[in-house]
């Protein structure tokens, strides 16, 4: 019996009007409970955000103002999501972001959103896996030959995410093993974003690394940048100490 067969997990995904946690709003949310190969229960609904949906967002998920008109408000849906998830482990691609979105929505509405605090981020898990060209959910779907379920729509992404999790979790025997490896920073092989995207860290200019280490990047990226800087400092110190003329 594998890790995914050991208990019932929850998977969550939200679609938004944009990326701003304070000013943008949820327009779709989906949740599924699953164990092993079985999806036990699903819930998804469009949400009336109370604000216009920007054209840039519509191009991504194809959700229009007309589609969300008359749909539930987020405060009507949050209690149902919380009840469904309970204290289960929550899986998702960048799941902390989805949970922050739901908690911010609950706070604005003055209602609680109380679930367990154990989360498995398949985005970070894919970094540990390391064999996919990129770590986007769609790229992982293609890498593992998973059938498309409606990209950038909440329930479709949830169903794909569950299958991606099954592949990524195969090498771990227990959830404790998985949480242990995710508790530590992950050393990345290459720069995942920006003008040097895809380049190994040892090929990046020193001035770029010195700038990047001061940015608000995620824990894994900052750790990888710091490790590369430490390597270069160590190499420089070694070269100086091994050169009998370096103090002259």
Quick check: is 152 catalytic? yes
Q: Which of 61, 143, 152, 246 is catalytic?
A: 152
Rg (CA), the chain: 21
DSSP string for the chain: --GGGSS-EEEEEEEESSS-TTT--EEEEEEEEEETTEEEEEEEEE---SSPPPHHHHHHH---HHHHTTPPPHHHHHHHHHHHHTTS-EEETTHHHHHHHHHHHHHHHT------S-EEEHHHHHHHH--SSS--HHHHHHHTTPPP--TTSHHHHHHHHHHHHHHHTTT-SSHHHHHHHHTS----SB--SSTTTT-BGGGS-HHHHHHHTTS---HHHHHHHHHHHHHHHHHHHHHHHT-TTTT-
Q: Cα separation of 125 and 181, whole Å?
A: 9
- Please give the positions annotated as active site: 152
């Amino acid at each position: 019996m594998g890790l995914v067969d050991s208990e019932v997990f929850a998977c969550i995904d939200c679609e938004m009007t944009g990326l701003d946690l304070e000013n943008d709003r949820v327009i779709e949310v989906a949740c599924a409970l699953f164990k092993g190969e079985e999806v036990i229960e699903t819930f998804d609904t469009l949400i009336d955000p109370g604000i216009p949906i920007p054209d840039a967002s519509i191009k991504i998920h194809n959700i229009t103002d007309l589609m969300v008109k008359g749909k539930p408000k987020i405060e009507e849906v949050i209690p149902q999501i919380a009840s469904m998830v309970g204290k289960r482990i929550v899986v998702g691609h960048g799941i902390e972001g989805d949970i922050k979105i739901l908690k911010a929505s609950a706070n604005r509405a003055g209602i609680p959103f109380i679930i367990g605090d154990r989360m498995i981020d398949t985005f970070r898990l894919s970094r540990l896996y390391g064999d996919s060209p990129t770590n986007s959910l769609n790229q992982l779907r293609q890498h593992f030959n998973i059938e498309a379920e409606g990209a950038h729509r909440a329930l479709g992404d949830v169903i794909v995410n569950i299958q991606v999790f099954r592949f990524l979790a195969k090498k771990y025997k227990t959830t404790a093993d998985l949480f242990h490896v995710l508790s530590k920073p992950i050393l990345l092989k290459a720069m995942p974003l920006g003008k040097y995207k895809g380049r190994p860290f040892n090929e990046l200019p020193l001035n770029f690394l010195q700038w990047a280490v001061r940015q608000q990047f995620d824990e894994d990226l900052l750790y990888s940048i710091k490790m590369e800087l430490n390597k270069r400092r160590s190499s420089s110190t070694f070269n100086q100490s091994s050169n009998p003329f370096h103090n002259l």
